[in-house]
Structure 1
Amino acid sequence: MADLVIAHGLVVNAFGTQTAHVVVDGGRVTAVVDAAEPVPAAARVIDAAGRAVIPGGVDGHCHVAQVTGRFRTLDDFAVTSTAALWGGTTTILDFGIPRDASETPLDAAKNKLALASAARCDVALHGSVIAWDETVPAQLEELAGLGIRSVKMYMTNRGTTIADNDTVLRVMREMVRLDGLTYIHAEHDAIVVDCTQAHAEAGTIGIGHLHETRPELAEEASVREVIAMAEYTGAPVYFVHQSTPGAVDLVAEARSRGFDIHSETCPHYLVLDDGVYSSRYPEWFACCPPMRSPETVAALRERFADGSIHTVSSDHSCYDLTQKRERTDDVRQMPHGLPGVETRMPVTFTALAEAAAAASDRDVLERFVEVFSAAPARINALPGKGAIAPGYDADLVVFDPAEARTVDGGALHMGTDFSPFDGRELRGWPQVVVSGGRVVLDRDGFHDPGPVGRFVARLGYRESAAASGGAPGTVPHPDGRTTARGEFAVVVGSHAGEGE
């Protein structure tokens, strides 16, 4: 008898959809049984008839217990992983970013590894390099040995986390050697600094002017420069939080020439525009890059609908309104970042359903699974994640695509007192969440599993891509195999179970 069966659901993968029963045992999916067959026997059966069943979300961009300058986010791994599960995300990727010059990239990552022992869901990590020295190659090699196969670098944030071009180029070469992935925050520092200084001199440096201090040109100029370095070194690159169609188009053009470059955006760039900085609470929207014009948002949503954007991540940063309001008079002194790990699922699904209104329901669901789970798992080479198929981790979400709820920032679980989506009606909220085979959310509420989250060691970037043949829709299999588009596995079962 299996541990759990999710019965009669519309099982949606990025590579196919079928009405089926999902059988779970020992924390893994053991079978996907055609719904025409009897429900297999299990200790617990959850009837998902009329609802979608998708792989648990993979959020490739979270900042947990992050220290930047004099500010520290107010969460820890227990809080953020709990909020992730409430939001249908079962794996988060955090960053080991050095607090200052006294902390090495290796020390920063090991510190996050220790803190992650409190996590309720699975965790993987990115490293980060701020300044190059002769010890960096050995540190990156040790990180790769730990299963930390990506490094983030900032092209801006002068005086804190910025990496100069020499550092970026050298790290890219090391990541090629170590079969890793380079993550990039792309904003042209000289343009940002000059524009911000001009606004300071004009007395227009408060939060209401944030979007004017960091122009679209700064992002796109930086993307061009980084792509050139990627071409020169042959390094795979992942651009975080792209907010303009121009930045996405630059990535698409590079990909058309055969380069391994990826575009990520965030939910807030898909549904919010720069009018928020004229709202009653502009401090709710302090983030970098800032929100863009309505015209830019509309064009970004077109790229989202046509598949040019590969992943949607939260860029979760858990500051509260006290921290945000301390220096609203000067954006240079404010903490930037938004809480979003819990709302990533409904915001992304709602935005995609609206942007792709002409597409079929099945196409929308499969595209949603791609950006929410499958592509983050595939690009980050996370074995066992991103698909519902035998042998994969039993990370599952049941939801009704038609169910709408209104966001109440005060009722969320992210450890802060606001949400940038407060008052918005969204579709695509999780009703049942299974993480590692455990039912952590159902109609009876949240069931805290305790600190059971595992650290997930990642595969090499090209190793994983070669194993999958580079085919769209493929995701790393825990035993080295892959599940690919058109290879949706169905195992016929035999025994009926009880409904819930």
Structure 2
Amino acid sequence: MSAAGAPGTGVADLVIAHGLVVNATGRRLAHVVVDAGRVTAVVDAAEPVPAAERVIDASGRVVVPGGIDGHCHVAQVTGRWRTLDDYAVTSAAALWGGTTTILDFGIPRDAGETPLEAAANKLALAAEARCDVALHGAVIDWDETVPAQLEELARLGIRSVKMYMTNRGSTMADNDTVLKVMREMVRLDGLTYIHAEHDAMIVDCTQEHADAGRIGIGHLHETRPELAEEASVREVLAMAEYTGAPVYFVHQSTPGAVDLVAEARARGVEAHSETCPHYLVLDDGVYSSQFPEWYACCPPMRSAETVAALRGRFADGSIHTVSSDHSCYDLSQKRERTDDIRHMPHGLPGVETRMPVAFTALAEGWDADGTRATGDGAAPDGIGLLERFVDLFAAAPARINALPGKGAVAPGFDADLVVFDPSEARTVDGTALHMGTDFSPFHGRSLRGWPQHVVAGGRVVLDQDGFHDPGPVGRFVPRLGYRESLAAPAPAPAASVGAAAPEGQ
């Protein structure tokens, strides 16, 4: 049948019945009614199940909004390296993992490609996507054409720009460029994304290690110290405060970096912290493991003490979003130059495992750091584990990135939905995932939070029978302005605090 259902019958396309519906604002036992690709009603579970062409019984399980991964690199070219995925592969893997919207980057490949051309090239590739796609722009070098290019990107619904504070000679933007772009993003009601690592410190530290013959993959974590990340965050926050620009820090790996953002927010700076699943569960001991090349990424993994403290920030709400930083290289690429980290590709596959790694890390932190105040899993602020997870996984990425119709299970919102059992554990098999590579940094780990059913745009793409490839149906999602979105009325809550979760979550 068509996505709109049978005309005149009053029969919906889909109902997810008897689930614990959880939004960032609360929870409720309910039936979720889907028609024409959108949620049309959230009905109390005490009421009869509405008529539908298909009913999924979610009894004893949780229903949450589809995930939004705000930081993916699809078919990314950096120097001579290209990730091995495309939009068909990455978007399908995202759906396997409960993510129904991904945000990619249009990063110029070389000095001859402009920011606008880089974005246009990515938009053309995204026609093969199985899930919805939004896009960030990127600026490396400033010239007199940049303001007009940023205006055109904004007109297209690309309302954020990423800049790197390191990687000189390739993707790095200098401070003059960062400051000028921030001013333009204020003018255009956009958001500045920042990769924050202090380039001079990293170059110097890396050269010292090379001179000492300690430049192989086993020394990666020593060449990019925590201080380099925190010094860069401090500097960028000063520029954001000076210009009044909203700023978003990708892949924060230290509690010190997160705390700097929190302190700036207390002063009124519009700043946001993102972390990635690997920084929550892996520490720098991996670089002395049997396969250290599995963990080549920047920033690198940190000490066990730093990881524990970062996980505490993740649980208490100091971190705002969790993104994969998906970069799909394979082991042959990783192993080509393990002798010299300056010449090997950095980045990890993770779009498919973001949900279970993040949920597992959050659940462990919730118990370990003492924030669980009552038997039902509520924190002192009244928000429980499941609500916090939904905010990190879907609601905050939608809100910060100004994605209309995303991030909530509520009437009028896109029917992007995930059904899962918080108590179900599975062991990661890196060779059995769907990301177009042959390894996972989480191989062998037991994780909770795997999706059992995934609905994207009203289509059931994952259920007990496996994955149902919807074909290239993903849409490009134009974004609103940053402050325009924050000023919009909040969605009517589809859930209210009070219902117990499975396993007391």
- TM-score, normalisation: structure 2: 0.93
Identity %: 84
Task: Give the structure 1 partner of residue 503 of structure 2.
Answer: none
What pairs up with 1:197-208 in 2 under 5 angstroms? 197-208=207-218
Task: Give the structure 2 partner of residue 264 of structure 1.
Answer: 274
Identify the match of residue 400 of structure 1 among 411, 421, 429: 421
CA distance in 2, matches of 1:13, 1:305: 17
CA distance in 2, matches of 1:426, 1:391: 33
The SS at the match of 1:212 is helix
Contact 1:155 1:163 in 2 (8 A): yes
Identify the match of residue 37 of structure 1 among 47, 69, 81: 47
Deviation at 1:121, TM superposition (A): 0.1
Task: Give the structure 2 partner of residue 158 of structure 1.
Answer: 168
Amino acid corresponding to residue 76 of structure 1 in structure 2: D
Contact 1:155 1:222 in 2 (8 A): yes
The SS at the match of 1:390 is coil
What pairs up with 1:458-477 in 2 under 5 angstroms? 458-468=479-489
The SS at the match of 2:68 is strand
Tell me if 1:339 matches 2:378. Answer: no
Task: Give the structure 2 partner of residue 446 of structure 1.
Answer: 467
Amino acid corresponding to residue 133 of structure 1 in structure 2: D
CA distance in 2, matches of 1:55, 1:259: 29
The SS at the match of 2:488 is helix
Contact 2:21 2:495 in 1 (8 A): no
CA distance in 1, matches of 2:32, 2:417: 9
Amino acid corresponding to residue 475 of structure 2 in structure 1: R
Task: Give the structure 1 partner of residue 324 of structure 2.
Answer: 314
* Residues 213-267 of structure 1, C-alpha deviations (whole Å, 9 max, x = no match): 0000000000000000000000000000000000000000000111110000000
Amino acid corresponding to residue 95 of structure 1 in structure 2: F
Task: Give the structure 2 partner of residue 369 of structure 1.
Answer: 390
CA distance in 2, matches of 1:302, 1:56: 25
Deviation at 1:207, TM superposition (A): 0.2
Identify the match of residue 491 of structure 2 among 459, 479, 483: 483
The SS at the match of 1:24 is strand
CA RMSD of the aligned region, Å?
A: 0.8
CA distance in 2, matches of 1:28, 1:303: 34
Task: Give the structure 2 partner of residue 475 of structure 1.
Answer: none
The SS at the match of 1:337 is coil
CA distance in 1, matches of 2:414, 2:377: 26
Task: Give the structure 1 partner of residue 455 of structure 2.
Answer: 434
What pairs up with 1:170-181 in 2 under 5 angstroms? 170-181=180-191
Deviation at 1:488, TM superposition (A): 3.3
* Residues 402-449 of structure 1, C-alpha deviations (whole Å, 9 max, x = no match): 000000000000000000000000000000000000000000000000
Task: Give the structure 2 partner of residue 474 of structure 1.
Answer: none
Amino acid corresponding to residue 491 of structure 2 in structure 1: T
Contact 2:27 2:495 in 1 (8 A): no
Task: Give the structure 2 partner of residue 494 of structure 1.
Answer: none
CA distance in 1, matches of 2:304, 2:24: 30
Contact 1:181 1:238 in 2 (8 A): yes
Contact 1:390 1:489 in 2 (8 A): no
CA distance in 2, matches of 1:4, 1:304: 34
Deviation at 1:361, TM superposition (A): 3.9
* Residues 285-323 of structure 1, C-alpha deviations (whole Å, 9 max, x = no match): 000000000010011011111100000000000000000
What pairs up with 1:16-35 in 2 under 5 angstroms? 16-35=26-45
Task: Give the structure 2 partner of residue 495 of structure 1.
Answer: none
Which stretches of structure 1, 4 residues or longer, exceed 2 Å deviation after superposition? Answer: 358-362, 487-490
CA distance in 1, matches of 2:324, 2:473: 23
CA distance in 2, matches of 1:427, 1:350: 5
Deviation at 1:63, TM superposition (A): 0.1
CA distance in 2, matches of 1:299, 1:447: 40
Identify the match of residue 113 of structure 1 among 123, 132, 141: 123
What pairs up with 1:379-394 in 2 under 5 angstroms? 379-394=400-415
CA distance in 2, matches of 1:253, 1:28: 39
How many residues are treated as equivalent by the alignment? 475
The SS at the match of 1:458 is coil
CA distance in 2, matches of 1:196, 1:394: 48
* Residues 348-384 of structure 1, C-alpha deviations (whole Å, 9 max, x = no match): 0000000011524460000000000000000000000
CA distance in 1, matches of 2:258, 2:99: 25
CA distance in 2, matches of 1:128, 1:272: 29
Identify the match of residue 142 of structure 1 among 143, 146, 152: 152
Task: Give the structure 1 partner of residue 297 of structure 2.
Answer: 287
Deviation at 1:269, TM superposition (A): 0.2
Contact 2:23 2:495 in 1 (8 A): no
Contact 2:248 2:272 in 1 (8 A): yes
Identify the match of residue 189 of structure 1 among 199, 206, 210: 199
CA distance in 1, matches of 2:430, 2:119: 31
The SS at the match of 1:431 is strand
Task: Give the structure 2 partner of residue 352 of structure 1.
Answer: 362
The SS at the match of 1:420 is coil
Tell me if 1:220 matches 2:219. Answer: no
Deviation at 1:332, TM superposition (A): 0.4
The SS at the match of 1:22 is strand
CA distance in 1, matches of 2:237, 2:450: 36
CA distance in 1, matches of 2:363, 2:465: 28
Gaps of 5+ in 1: 469-481, 491-500
Deviation at 1:489, TM superposition (A): 6.5
CA distance in 1, matches of 2:422, 2:296: 30
CA distance in 2, matches of 1:181, 1:279: 39
